[in-house]
Chain A
């Protein structure tokens, strides 16, 4: 029986959390199909312990392809490796993260191995009788959920958003096989050169993987006012998000943008201040665990999807909330 695969992601030798989230999805599918679950690690410097962790978190096998030349994600090179592996091992299903690299590599590979791919699946199940993978994903701004299958092509490929599932509890009694796949020169596509990385702390935010997001909208009135959201986000150890209105006005940089033309987020807590909640923005926050909204307009659409809403002046409510959070902190210490 063909395996279920997940693509583990690494950056600078560290496995990303999403790699373990994918295993919990993959485990359920493999069990349902009565097959094994394998995880593929392409990169450099991922140590034995980290590879074992993949087994402790649900994998039966790990294919490790490591080489200094694979340190950075380069689509063409990674694609050659994965294509080769797929042709060799013929997996039934491949799950990858809907991250910048997953969303680049998977569509490239899907063409190369001649199969279909479904992006941003929120639900994965096995169809009774056929054993086909049923992939459910939101479309049209989350207004519909479409269930898609790939009946006649293999593997069946899906990407899954980070934070949309939890890793399985660590089970150190689990054992599995780690397969070191040798790197061949023909894998290396040297057309694209990685020159390095640039990170601007001010502008940058990884809101997709944050557990807490404090977002501001048009009601923030100006760039300076985002300072108070930053303070609150820092309090929670989270990130500052923003609506399109706020980003378009230049109050905050694009990596912070939530919604149809920005990022889809799934934090434990989303707080929206002065965000009215356009259809586009709501599409980006619907998968948040808890939604809190502060808005002066009692008819703001965001209040309809909020778990807790405050109708009031954010310039009074936010500082008061901050004061209370600080107070609670002092009490605790």
Chain B
């Protein structure tokens, strides 16, 4: 039975006086009240009809001081405030679902400092991650926490969601590369957490608490990002297996050899077939029950080649039907496009989907697959499963049958997700590995999370944000 959402907390509306204050703080041109222009800020990459909500005002500050003043104002006036990056999120984390002030960091996109001696770059939160990655690449440096996301995403959003992506097997997620943060707290104070340092046990690790907190504990305005040397060589393998089980079984064998691939991407039969058919790919994919896409990289081309061959051999020993190698850009692009086009291929079939990102212990991946088949059958929807096998992070995606009416879809989607999340939890997993809870999954989180853990989280929220004005209604509703 669906649990009723608790009544929304009483907030004040944004008055003309507050708008005037915002204009004074951020400048006339950096405040938007026009409905047409605000529409773009009412949704993210989740379904706008289902999750979208209009803000009362949008403000585009350009400095940390302005952000602090705006937050102070919101806190004083008891108006909810929602921080926003590029709006490419997949859980509704940046949607102003209580109205109020929407604060976008899009005009805070400067590089503050590139400090090569300390191997860090300091940037504002609105920096486009892709731009950041390219900027450091020109200096032969590498931001390894770069998610496999839309090209438009901002570093601030990556931090808020602790973004993952395709290279996490070797390089970890965004959080690993965040050495310091400038934060505006929910009461409008400004402080730095961490610094240009790589170790710190001087008290609780508040910096890591902020990473992945979905903008509920304050607004990150700047970040100190750790850089590493740019890998100069990389190669990929595309491996066809008869079954998902065979594909997954090979993963621990590779890791046990001491080889850490950059990526281990898994694609189940439905994903492979839909994507390959969409791409008109001539690979003999029809017989494959699953595919793995593996990448190795490094600074020594001979080592990369040796790793490539070693992994390929292991796959063949574990029953791979065929092992393809890609060492040049043309071939790499071709095999990665199979993986990258899965979502798009399904969108052609049906644009209404629920993109999930459950995470389970790697060895449990094969247990998920038959369950997905069962749920697919039971609820009349396709559920392709693909994702980051090396992390156990799976994009099991619920795809609406174009023939199904919306009412049935919503009911079935909820029931199916509930079963999927229960299964995930039973296997020792979590309901989101890299997209976050936001508003999309908060009711489910409540059902599967340990109540003590939830209570601790709520306690933290209360301590940081006594008036509950900072991105309220995300992760959980305060009871």
* Chain A interfacial positions (CB closer than 8 Å to B): 221-222, 248-250, 299
Interface membership of chain B positions 275-315, coded 1 if the CB is closer than 8 angstroms to chain A and 0 otherwise? 00011100000000000000000000000000000000000
CB atoms of A250 and B280 under 8 A apart: yes
B201 within 8 A of A: no
CB atoms of B280 and A222 under 8 A apart: no
CB atoms of B348 and A248 under 8 A apart: no
> From residue B129, how far is it (CB to closest CB) to chain A in Å?
14
> From residue B325, how far is it (CB to closest CB) to chain A in Å?
21
> From residue B345, how far is it (CB to closest CB) to chain A in Å?
10
CB atoms of B279 and A222 under 8 A apart: no
Cross-interface CB contact of A249 among B151, B278, B347, cutoff 8 Å: B278
Which chain A residue shows the least CB distance to B152? A299
> From residue A173, how far is it (CB to closest CB) to chain B in Å?
56
Give residues of chain B (336-365) contacting chain A, Cβ–Cβ below 8 Å.
Answer: 347-348
> From residue A147, how far is it (CB to closest CB) to chain B in Å?
30
Cross-interface CB contact of B348 among A221, A250, A299, cutoff 8 Å: A221
Which B residues are CB-close (under 8 A) to A221? 347-348
Shortest Cβ-Cβ A-B pairs, 6 listed: A250-B280, A249-B280, A221-B348, A222-B348, A249-B279, A248-B280
> From residue A170, how far is it (CB to closest CB) to chain B in Å?
47
Interface of B is mostly: helix
Measured between alpha carbons, how far is A222 from B349 in the docked complex, in Å? 10
Measured between alpha carbons, how far is A163 from B151 in the docked complex, in Å? 38
> From residue A172, how far is it (CB to closest CB) to chain B in Å?
53
- With A248-B280, A249-B280 given, can you name 4 additional A-B contacts, CB distance below 8 Å? A221-B347, A221-B348, A299-B151, A299-B152
> From residue B353, how far is it (CB to closest CB) to chain A in Å?
15
Measured between alpha carbons, how far is A299 from B280 in the docked complex, in Å? 27
Which B residues are CB-close (under 8 A) to A250? 280
Measured between alpha carbons, how far is A221 from B152 in the docked complex, in Å? 21
> From residue B428, how far is it (CB to closest CB) to chain A in Å?
39
Measured between alpha carbons, how far is A222 from B152 in the docked complex, in Å? 25
Which chain A residue shows the least CB distance to B349? A222
- List, sorted by A's number, 11 A–B pairs whose CB atoms are closer than 8 Å: A221-B347, A221-B348, A222-B348, A248-B279, A248-B280, A249-B278, A249-B279, A249-B280, A250-B280, A299-B151, A299-B152
Interface membership of chain B positions 136-175, coded 1 if the CB is closer than 8 angstroms to chain A and 0 otherwise? 0000000000000001100000000000000000000000
Measured between alpha carbons, how far is A248 from B278 in the docked complex, in Å? 10
Which A residues are CB-close (under 8 A) to B152? 299
Which B residues are CB-close (under 8 A) to A249? 278-280
Which A residues are CB-close (under 8 A) to B151? 299
Which A residues are CB-close (under 8 A) to B278? 249
> From residue A227, how far is it (CB to closest CB) to chain B in Å?
15
> From residue B277, how far is it (CB to closest CB) to chain A in Å?
9
Measured between alpha carbons, how far is A250 from B281 in the docked complex, in Å? 9
Measured between alpha carbons, how far is A250 from B347 in the docked complex, in Å? 17
Measured between alpha carbons, how far is A250 from B280 in the docked complex, in Å? 6
Measured between alpha carbons, how far is A124 from B308 in the docked complex, in Å? 51
